[in-house]
């Protein structure tokens, strides 16, 4: 398990409502299209949730209101570690994530407290097998290192008052 203090790990803030900003040289992904493993547009980047102490982004908040597929309107949390960023086309790709996974994710509302239970709900949703897919249940095994591991260099959060 990550050595980060559990209390600090879940001390997440919305980037747009903080005194922080994207670090120079990193992409401003707000408004970028988000695509599932089948290249369907499943929404747009609405917000980023980060820990102000570690300055690490933990989640991308995806607004599914502008999808090309049959998704409910609402916002869901996607762990930053499972996202790939296509800088050429200004889009976020979610390899291994299907509409089935997105529909199983808990909805995010502004100010929602993120906890270990939220992480577990998200892991279970992302581990669901796509409807009619030939993948055995549990074969994705979304581990905590996959959730956060990719972006250890601090994708975000330079203090804009510095």
Please tell me the distance from the alpha carbon of residue 117 to that of residue 120, in angstroms, as a whole number. Answer: 5
Per residue in 60-80, pLDDT (tens digit) is: 999 999 898 878 889 999 999
Integer-rounded Cα Rg, in Å, for the chain is 15
CA distance to 58, 69, 126, per residue, from 161 (Å): 22, 41, 37
In our burial notation (b when 16+ CB lie closer than 10 A, e otherwise), range 57-85 reads bbbbbbbbeebeeebeebbbbbbbbbbeb
Per residue in 90-149, pLDDT (tens digit) is: 999 999 999 999 999 999 998 788 899 999 999 999 998 876 554 444 444 444 445 555
Domains of the chain: 6-159 (3.90.50.10)
Per residue in 24-71, pLDDT (tens digit) is: 888 999 999 999 999 999 999 999 999 999 999 999 999 999 898 878
């Amino acid at each position: 398990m990550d050595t980060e203090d559990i209390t600090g790990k879940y001390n997440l803030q919305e980037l747009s409502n903080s005194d922080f900003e994207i670090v120079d040289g990193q992409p401003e992904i707000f408004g970028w299209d988000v695509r599932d493993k089948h290249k369907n547009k499943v929404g747009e980047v609405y917000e980023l949730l980060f820990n102000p102490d570690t300055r690490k982004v933990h989640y991308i908040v995806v607004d599914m209101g502008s999808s090309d597929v049959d998704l409910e309107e609402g916002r869901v949390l996607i762990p930053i570690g499972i996202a790939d960023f296509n800088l050429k086309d200004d889009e976020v790709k979610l390899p291994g994530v299907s509409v089935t996974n997105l529909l199983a994710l808990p909805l995010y509302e502004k100010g929602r407290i993120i906890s270990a239970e939220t992480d577990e709900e998200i892991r279970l949703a992302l581990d669901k097998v796509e409807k009619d897919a030939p993948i055995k249940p549990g074969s994705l095994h979304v581990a905590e290192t996959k959730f956060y591991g990719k972006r250890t260099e601090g994708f975000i959060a330079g203090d804009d008052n510095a």
